[in-house]
Structure 1
Amino acid sequence: MKKVIIVGAGPSGLILGLLLAKAGIEVELLDAGSEIDKQPRAAHYASPAVYELGRAGVLEDVKERGFQPEGFAWRQLDGTLIAGMSHAVLPIEYPTRMVVLPLDRLGEVLYEHIQRQPTAQVKWSHRVVHVGQDEDCAWVEIETPDGVKRSEADYVIGCDGASSTVRRELFGPEYPGETLDAQIVATNVYYDFDSFGYWDSNTIVDPENWYLAARVTTDGLWRFTYGDKPGLSKEEYLARQPQRYEALLPGNPKPGQYKITNISPYKLQQRCAPSFRVGKILLAADAAHLCNPFGGLGLTGGIADIGSLFDSLIGIHKGLADESILDKYSEIRKRIWTEIIDPISRENFRRLHDQDPTKARENDEFFKLCVKGETDEQVAKDIALGLDIVRHDMTQYYTK
């Protein structure tokens, strides 16, 4: 294998590019944007994602710029604790203990590292508009500042997100799945949740006023994501923000008592591409599948895709596997989405609003497990490492 083209220089594309470049493979990363995406977005990396950050050689930098959370709590709207899961049961030096760093800052770390690789190039303002292949190579047609160009490689990898051009070129505009009948508003805000006894991450269980409040930096920035009425315009959601904050946040603050840095209303999606491989063209992360953000399965599952795809490609590169391992990659990652990520993420979302919060501790099976973990350290460790099930070791399919 001489060259791989990766479409999309977000975190997933950068991690894959870094892993491949370190293996001596020429990597061309193409991104329509002019620089690293500066939107903070998600921030929590569970154990399978931490494993891949370690393999890419960036984990220590991520820990230094981020932090390792102590635990997650589920609460009633008045703050009463329903149940919690602890990460403190894992030693701070545990190799795949969860780490938190907003995606824009992770992108900065990854970009710094990939720039040191002589076999990697990141090309900004390079919009891929067409993708194709023949018996010898895969190719992309690119709109660049210097005109339309064409580039060829052994493989083209679509890591270009939910609106993936690569996926549309393979399967058309339809992204199979559904848009959930719910509206969320994601905000990043400086507010003193600590004074109300909040843990590093807190989910409010309530039929109407459910939300998630999670610390994302050590300087007081929190990710506050709440539900709102479906069917309004973006302008209406922005106008409703002050009253929603006053109704939801502990302390019922007025504008001026908090500082919002980002706000973005969006719909929840559960979608999966028909296949993650068509010949020499492959898909990974959001280009391949989407789920709602509750539980962090989208981010962690996407980075787990990257680990599986890297092992498959490097197996081919080293002569340890033939190209059929890429079909196995597609089969297994699609099955993991279908059997694990999709149902668990749906259940995580249902848990927020589809039960009586005053009885949830006694009735909800997951909460009952968390309660057991309060006195059983092994159960607590198993819960903390629960998302290990989305990681899959592709080296077991090597034929040599």
Structure 2
Amino acid sequence: MGLRFADAVQVGLADDDVHSRVRIAEEVNGNLAYSPVSEPMNTRFCREECICEYYRVHEMPAIRDPSQELKNGSVIVVGAGPCGFSLSLVLARAGIHVTLLDKADGVGSQPRAAHIFAPGIQMLRRAGVLGDVRRAGFVPKNWSFRKADGTPIVTIEDFAPSKSPDATTVLPIDTLGKILWCHAQKNDNISVRWGCHVLDVGQDEDSAWVSVRENGGTEKIIKADFVCGCDGATSQVRKSLFGAEFRGKTWNDQMVATNVYYPFDEWGYDDLNTFIDPNDWHIVARLTKDGLWRVSYRQDGSKSLREVLDDHPARFEHLLPGHPKPDNYTILNISPYRLHQRSAEKYRVGRICLAADAAHLCNPWGGLGLTGGFADAIGLSECLIGIHMGRADHSILDKYDEVRRSIYWNFTDPVSTSNFMRVSTSDPETILEKDPVVATLARMHDDSRIRDDFDRHIYGILHDFTQYYSAGKGQASL
């Protein structure tokens, strides 16, 4: 497929990537060609239709050991969440045959993360679904930190930011899942198998496999070159590798996530509202253009599911503006869940890799759970595509393990922990004076440098694994 035009766009990756180089695709005599451009790594190629063209047309030295290539060009992905689905699509678009397994009967509907930040936007662009995601969702405007009574403390205007090609997009995960599922059905390189319960995983020198039980009770072995565990916090792939061990901690509080119709606009709420209070911390975020909102609030971690549900009307009456009764709002979903900070011992064991919640967990403040999962999927796809095309050997997966774990412990875990402590332990009356982050955000409107730092910060969760390809650093950027 030829190109009429291709852009390079500014997205601001981590400082240690600034010496990498990218390619700009252009049409030369009807064919795709790539030429080096003297740009920092914060310039990235963004045309959806060309995500995989690089791997098909660019001449690069191949590795010499055939045993290090994907013999059958096949990967099993366990877990059809947003990260597993998008990973499958990117691999399939590069010519890899993917079997995507999930124990559910279809796309889930429980309320989870809905804000897709820049790394997720980049992954969805590579998966070829970003256009549909943009049309189904919306780019949010302002984000306010507030006291429990709704009084604004500080407001970040256009926090997306709307003019960036990687602008944050709000889309409920169940809707995103349906879009990804629709695209997967159109790709002959993907086979999605719902109702498959993974029992165990295994491997030898030549392949990896999963033992599954289908809904009908039939047990079978499915083989491929690699297995990628994207099967969430209770990952059976991770348990098969490491048992019950999952290093980290669980917070005392639990969070109750709800999707609700209630006229928050009438009370002057912004698209994203973070309420700071030791007892009543919560978040209110617009989910859709038709008036659906996400309300997630603190609940005592010792309460049972029954107690949480029984207490819910009183919590809403206490927290929401207007102190509504149950007949004043419509709840579509409610889902309590525990908050964790955890990471697996390794993200790669031979031919089996872990990504997203199967590899690590963090509390939801700052959206680093979903964002980190997408960042894993970007990195793992780059590694597997490099192996598939003979431009990297299996040792690149050691880099994936090393780098992604380091990013979790040095970025995701401390930042998400700091975010949670800020909303759950701070005095809202003095936070502007005592919290340097909130104080800095308050000055952002008048200081472009602060704004630039704010916009760039999320890219610290990314890493360019194509720099480890055999042609040298940065020679295979998408």
Q: TM-score range by the shorter chain?
A: over 0.9
Q: Secondary structure at the match of 2:77?
A: strand
Secondary structure of residue in 2 paired with 1:392: coil
Distance 1:265 1:184, change over 3 A: same
Matched AA of 1:380 = R
Call closer, same or farther: CA 1:320–1:86 in 2, change over 3 Å: farther
Of 113-122 and 271-280, the range deviating more from structure 2: 113-122
1:348 corresponds to 2:419? yes
Q: For the Cα contact (< 8 Å) 2:143–2:159, is it kept in 1?
A: no
| Partner residue in 1 for 2:365 | 294
On the 8 A contact 2:111/2:334 being kept in 1, the answer is no
Do residues 104 (structure 1) and 180 (structure 2) align? Answer: no
Does the CA contact (< 8 Å) of 2:110 and 2:335 recur in 1? no
* Alignment of structure 1 residues 66-145 onto 2, 5 Å: 66-87=137-158, 90-92=161-163, 94-144=164-214, 145=216
Q: CA deviation at 1:86?
A: 3.0
2:94 to 6, 14, 23: 23
Matches within 5 A, 1:162-201: 162-201=233-272
* 8 A contact 1:89–1:377 mirrored in 2: no
TM-score (norm 1): 0.97
Rounded to whole Å, the distance in 2 between the matches of 1:9 and 1:125 is 11
How many residue pairs match? The answer is 399
* Cα distance in 2 between the residues matched to 1:49 and 1:91: 15
1:362 CA displacement: 2.1
Matched, 1:246 2:317: yes
| Contact map agreement 2:277 2:423 (CA 8 A) in 1 | yes
> How is 1:1-400 mapped onto 2 (pairs within 5 angstroms)?
1=70, 2-87=73-158, 90-92=161-163, 94-144=164-214, 145=216, 147-400=218-471
TM-aligned CA distance change 1:337 to 1:88, over 3 Å: closer
* CA deviation profile, 1:53-93 (whole Å, cap 9, x unmatched): 1111111100100100112111011222111223367344x
Q: Which has the larger radius of gyration?
A: 2
Distance across 1 between alignment mates of 2:121 and 2:311: 37
Question: Which sections of structure 1, spanning at least 5 residues, go unmatched?
Answer: none
Question: Equivalents in 1 of 2:158, 2:144: separation in Å?
Answer: 11
> Do the aligned residues in 1 keep the contact of 2:247 with 2:342 (CA within 8 Å)?
yes
Q: Secondary structure in 2 aligned to 1:374?
A: helix
Provide structure 2 residue ranges, at least 5 long, that are not aligned to the other structure: 1-69, 472-478
Deviations 1:265-303 (A, max 9, x none): 221111100000000000000000000111100000101
Distance in 1, Cα, partners of 2:93 & 2:217: 29
CA distance in 2, matches of 1:300, 1:46: 6
In the alignment, the residues of structure 2 paired with residue 255 and residue 261 of structure 1 have an alpha-carbon distance, to the nearest angstrom, of 12
Q: C-alpha root-mean-square deviation of aligned residues, in Å?
A: 1.3
Alpha-carbon contact 1:181-1:230 (below 8 Å) kept: yes
2:17 corresponds to? none
Alpha-carbon distance in structure 2 between the residues aligned to 1:231 and 1:122:
38
For the residue of structure 1 that corresponds to 2:290, the secondary structure is coil
- How far apart are residue 155 of structure 1 and its match? 0.2
Runs of 4+ in 1 over 4 A off after TM superposition: none
Identical-residue share of aligned pairs (%):
49
